[in-house]
Structure 1
Amino acid sequence: MSSASPAATGPLGAVRRIFGGGTGPVFVVLLTLLVVMLLLNPSFFQPASLMAFLRNAAPLIILAAGQYFVIVSGEFDLSVGSLVGAQVVIAAKLIDGDESRTWPVIMLMLGFGLLVGLVNGLVTTLLKVPSFITTLGMMLVLAGAIRLWTGGAPTGALSESFRQWGRMGIEVPVLRQIPYAALIMIVIAVLTVLLMRGPYGRTLVATGDNDVAASFAGAQVWQVRTLAFVLSGLLATVAGILIGGFAGVTAQVGDGMEFTAITAVVLGGVVLGGGRGWIVGAMAGALTYRLLERLLVQLDMPSTLNPTIQGVIIILALAYGSRRLWGRRRRRAAQPITTKPQPSGAE
């Protein structure tokens, strides 16, 4: 596989990804929402209010980063919402308010998230089960198993040292407090961007664009896609840990988050079907979606409108992705077929 040119990896490449790769609109929408929020509620931009907003938005941004890996590879992960809910319930039942159990349980949660992602990936890639069916099945398995384990009524309690990651922060001048959730989000954003700029990221995008061509170029497609699911499970677990800081102990805490994450990713310009999109755009899409929710609250709009907004965004994204896919196929079909010249004297 050819390496990226300097123009594609330097500042010019970043500009091209933003304005030429379908990511530009999300930044325009984000800026517009910020201006509207400034006019309606200037106090939103006070340091304490902004930090609180980032603390609440961080789990979705992290979840969207994980969903990005799967979607850009050409697959789906519908199990992340149930995984978030399961992780919160598991943590509460195992910790049960005991501070000494916090870190062992967190390690167990991370391992469980990796295992769920690995199972999703292997079933999809090796057994050739469509990821939509695989992860839908995993979603149902997790939801049913948690209800069976808890008897339908989650028990236990999360310790304060567990809740601090989604609730507390570092005290600093001016900003007053930088939430741990925001710091974790920034670290994950940097690591995922670096990962996508490396060989794995380029192979992942190539796999989503054309897995047959990527395979002929030497890529281990099944490994690349399996790792994408593993990353999705890991980041969903991190999001679950942060959500545990301010959410109640219930298996329903993650309900619908899989669709919210998909909405955020496609809002960020990532094409459903794979091969197109920038991870920064996916995270910006999550931030934009959370800001849109906040604006609807500011306008006294009902929260029941959120599923409608998600549905409209997903339908428009599918239509846009299908249009680009058929455009690529028409351009390939229109290319003339070249044949090797016959050697001199050949009949």
Structure 2
Amino acid sequence: MSAVASHTAPSAALRFARGINVGLAIFLVLYGTIAVMQPSYFEVEGFLNFLRRAAPLIILACGQLFVIAGGGFDLSMGSLVTLTVLGGSMLAGGNPENTWWTIGVLYLIGLGVGLVNGLVVTLLKVPSIIATLGMLLSLNGAALMWSGGAPRGYLPENFRALGRLVYRDVPVTGIMPLSVLILIGSVGIAAWLLHATVFGRQVLAVGDNPRAAELSGVPVGATRVLVFVISALSAVTAGILLGGFAGVSTAVGQGLELQAIAACVIGGAQLLGGRASVTGAVAGALSLFALFTLLNLMGLPQPLRETVQGLILIAAVASSAWRMRRA
């Protein structure tokens, strides 16, 4: 018995490591190419600035990972990002005194969106891809009606500081963007929830076999609702950071939900649930953002970037399906 166990454990660990290293290897190759073209990326400050810009996508990928691990998809993330940015500018109205209660309201909106998604999937038995597609359309419509179809108002400086503030004269690193600190906290919470709590094991169990999980006492309905809440709250966090980077735009969240899904799959997450790694999702998001950065440095047009993004998503899904067949 012990011989079999000792043989099985390294095998599982090796498969886990391979799932992470694929995304990490891709990122290292792409980032090395970027650094050759722009040597400043070899410096610590250059890498931290890269992380600062990649932070929203990484946070989105971590939130999407919980839904994928539980056997679903959340297509409403990008539209919720857009609603966060537009709604933040409308609520705050450029007044710094309105920033904190505005952020509180935005998180309440995110909580509501997550609860609706989860309850529709759980109680009405609507497939998650359909439920969240409907939410995507609803949120886009709400954002456009609220803003009148064009950006209105502007975000106060203390709101935008969450995305673009950079602390100077920091020991060792020289600088430390506030968004990187938010990123570290968000990834740490996600890793703790998925890999070190009973809830994380329940999510993976529901994604692997919901019927077996239910028979073993796992609260399947509550678990599914919670993963959509986590996804929605991560979208609000990403929207707050993106508002700090680029200001108010009606297209700020366009396509981000597909990028988050692709990042998770590149990082080794299994579509339809049962296997996921926060480290892998982070590596996948870094790889995807490094590719976009490289395409920008090469001066390639936006349509080509979207084409490449689509091809990456197809390849990532095909790779996940191939891994499932082998398993």
* Counterpart check, 1:39 vs 2:36: yes
Secondary structure at 2:176 match in 1: strand
The letter of the residue matching 1:256 is G
Residues 131-280 of structure 1: matches in 2 within 5 Å?
Answer: 131-171=128-168, 172-197=170-195, 198-280=197-279
Among 105, 110, 113, the residue aligned to 2:110: 113
Among 73, 77, 88, the residue aligned to 1:76: 73
Contact 2:69/2:203 (<8 A) preserved: yes
Secondary structure at 2:272 match in 1: coil
Q: Distance in 2 between matches of 1:120 and 1:77?
A: 8
CA separation of 1:139 and 1:6: change in aligned 2, threshold 3 A: farther
The letter of the residue matching 1:258 is E
Instruction: State the partner residue of 1:336.
Output: none
TM, length-normalised to structure 2: 0.92
Q: Distance in 1 between matches of 2:247 and 2:192?
A: 34
Secondary structure at 2:245 match in 1: coil
Aligned CA-pair RMSD: 2.2
Instruction: State the partner residue of 1:288.
Output: 287
The letter of the residue matching 2:194 is M
CA separation of 1:173 and 1:107: change in aligned 2, threshold 3 A: same
Once the two structures are TM-superposed, the CA of residue 131 in structure 1 deviates from its matched residue by 0.7
Among 85, 103, 113, the residue aligned to 1:88: 85
The letter of the residue matching 1:109 is L
Q: What stretches of structure 1 of length at least 5 have no aligned partner?
A: 329-347
The letter of the residue matching 1:276 is R
Contact 1:273/1:321 (<8 A) preserved: no
Q: How many residue pairs end up in the alignment?
A: 321
Contact 2:292/2:305 (<8 A) preserved: yes
Q: What stretches of structure 2 of length at least 5 have no aligned partner?
A: none
After superposing on structure 2, the runs of 4+ consecutive aligned residues of structure 1 that deviate more than 6 Å are 5-9, 11-14
Contact 1:266/1:313 (<8 A) preserved: no
CA separation of 1:159 and 1:249: change in aligned 2, threshold 3 A: same
Q: What percent of counterpart residues are identical?
A: 45
The letter of the residue matching 1:194 is W
Instruction: State the partner residue of 2:55.
Output: 58
Once the two structures are TM-superposed, the CA of residue 325 in structure 1 deviates from its matched residue by 3.7
Deviations 1:258-315 (A, max 9, x none): 1111111111111221112211101111111111111122233333222222222222
Contact 2:265/2:320 (<8 A) preserved: no
The letter of the residue matching 2:240 is I
Once the two structures are TM-superposed, the CA of residue 41 in structure 1 deviates from its matched residue by 2.4
Instruction: State the partner residue of 1:17.
Output: 16
The letter of the residue matching 1:211 is P
Q: Distance in 2 between matches of 1:192 and 1:13?
A: 22
Q: Distance in 2 between matches of 1:52 and 1:12?
A: 37
CA separation of 1:47 and 1:326: change in aligned 2, threshold 3 A: closer
* Counterpart check, 1:28 vs 2:28: no
Deviations 1:155-176 (A, max 9, x none): 1111101000001032214533
Instruction: State the partner residue of 1:344.
Output: none
Contact 1:95/1:102 (<8 A) preserved: yes
The letter of the residue matching 1:142 is L
The letter of the residue matching 1:277 is A
Deviations 1:166-211 (A, max 9, x none): 0103221453321111001101111111111211111111111111
Instruction: State the partner residue of 1:104.
Output: 101
TM, length-normalised to structure 1: 0.87
Flag the structure with larger Rg: 1
